[in-house]
Amino acid sequence: MTHTFDTVIVGAGIFGTTAAVELARRGQRIALLDPGPIPHPLAASTDISKVVRLEYGADLEYMVLMESARTEWLRWNEELGAELYHETGVVLVTRATMAPGEYEYESFELLIERGHRPERLDVDEIARRFPAWRPGAYSDGFYHAMGGYAESGRVVASLVDRARQLGVALYPGQTVDRVLGDETRVTGAATREGESFAAGQVLIAAGAWTPILVPELTSVMRVTGHPVFHLQPTASELFHPPHFAVFTADITRSGWYGFPMHPVGRTSRHAMRRGVDAERSYQAAGYSIDGVVKVANHGIGQELHPMRDERVVTEHDVANLRTFLRDALPSLADAPVTYTRRCLYCDTLDGDFLIDRHPDREGLFVASGGSGHGFKFAPILGQLAADVVLDQPNPHLAKFRWRDIPPDKTGKEGARYQG
């Protein structure tokens, strides 16, 4: 059977769902294909929370984009009828004094230059305002009220709901295994399940599966897995805002970051009210979400194949977590770990997203390469992708163009621990 659309979007994660909503708003007939269920339990987007921060070191363009994205997050809370984004603030702490050239220092200076008001924290102020932190473990840093976290799984579920309302045809249970057409022009996509979808345009937004579907990208993309932990604290009062915020802990030297205690029961109520099958996805993924503190590592990770390799958190990962917690957040050091996952990043070698048209195949587009920091841009990702597909001007797209990247290139995203 063949179905016909203007654009077929492959992948219902954050890149794909935002693109589907935006293109449908602009009058396109859209098919959104995903192995399903949607939200998919293995998608990087299907998590309980993702950091929303303006801080990008000295990278002005990312900060400018995030200023727009934060405004849109607040609008989404109103438009989607739920508090998906929680503005708890973000605290960035360092062991030594912040110094020029380092992520925290450059972020602090650029925030001030942009007219923001980050609050510098010394060792005593960290202990006073955020009592969960071991006194003296971190001696410098700052707090910025404009930031927090988004309940990422709920965000995707809400976007799927909005896509349906806009007439997007959703096809969970359809696993795209090839793009149709010839070497110069695409004509649609075909699935492992035997369906064909005809379209003048195909947007690959398949996350870790992107370089499999577009093998030309294997030289500039890799897939890495990163450990995520949910902990059940005993002293829960220490982990609620304003006494605990989204944090990075000397992140360029450690990779560690985390969140305040997750709201209790929020996902279940939202899923039932919206009629979105998000709850089953969470259950399939094994999430324990009520009252947990999520801690994760944004670092080198483990190179994996999204289909062949197991996504397991190892005893070594847990030992590293316990070492960090004993030193930084001692009241969590012995807290039960209620859930773990290894979150897959689709990394570009330079750490910038890839949102562009294929240079040789007319009608083929890519929106991927989130590199572990893409979700926070969700409210503007769809605009970027739609402008590419519809050939509309956008001054930010040059940063995310299709490009050659030297194999020894180190990712430049400021907050990531590079080893």
Using one digit for the tens of pLDDT, what is the confidence trace for 205-226? 999 999 999 999 999 999 999 9
Three-point CA angle 106, 107, 113, nearest 5°: 90
Residues near 269 by Cβ (< 8 Å), separated by ≥ 6?
none
Residues near 274 by Cβ (< 8 Å), separated by ≥ 6?
157, 158, 161
pLDDT tens-digit map of 69-89? 999 999 999 988 889 999 999
pLDDT for the residue 19: 98
Residues near 265 by Cβ (< 8 Å), separated by ≥ 6?
290
Under the banding of pLDDT at 50, 70 and 90, the label for residue 291 is: confident
Under the banding of pLDDT at 50, 70 and 90, the label for residue 116 is: very high
Cα–Cα distance measured from residue 376 to residue 14, given in angstroms and rounded to the nearest whole number: 10
pLDDT tens-digit map of 378-389? 999 999 999 999
The β-bridge relationship of strands 221-231 and 293-297 is antiparallel
- Is 0.85 topped by the overall pTM? yes
Cα–Cα distance measured from residue 31 to residue 181, given in angstroms and rounded to the nearest whole number: 18
Cα–Cα distance measured from residue 285 to residue 339, given in angstroms and rounded to the nearest whole number: 10
Question: What are phi and psi for residue 256, nearest 5 degrees?
Answer: -80, 135
Q: Domains in the chain and their CATH numbers?
A: 2-400 (3.50.50.60)
Task: Inform me whether the pLDDT recorded for 274 exceeds 90.
Answer: no
Three-point CA angle 194, 197, 200, nearest 5°: 150
Task: Inform me whether the pLDDT recorded for 275 exceeds 60.
Answer: no
pLDDT for the residue 80: 85
Burial of 175 (0-12, 13-18, 19+ CB in 10 A): middle
pLDDT for the residue 380: 98
Under the banding of pLDDT at 50, 70 and 90, the label for residue 268 is: very low
Cα–Cα distance measured from residue 228 to residue 205, given in angstroms and rounded to the nearest whole number: 23
pLDDT tens-digit map of 250-266? 999 999 999 999 987 54
pLDDT tens-digit map of 98-114? 999 999 999 999 999 99
Question: What are phi and psi for residue 226, nearest 5 degrees?
Answer: -130, 135
Under the banding of pLDDT at 50, 70 and 90, the label for residue 1 is: low
Burial of 127 (0-12, 13-18, 19+ CB in 10 A): middle
Start-to-end CA span in the chain (Å) = 50
Q: What is the CA 48 to chain-centroid distance, rounded?
A: 11
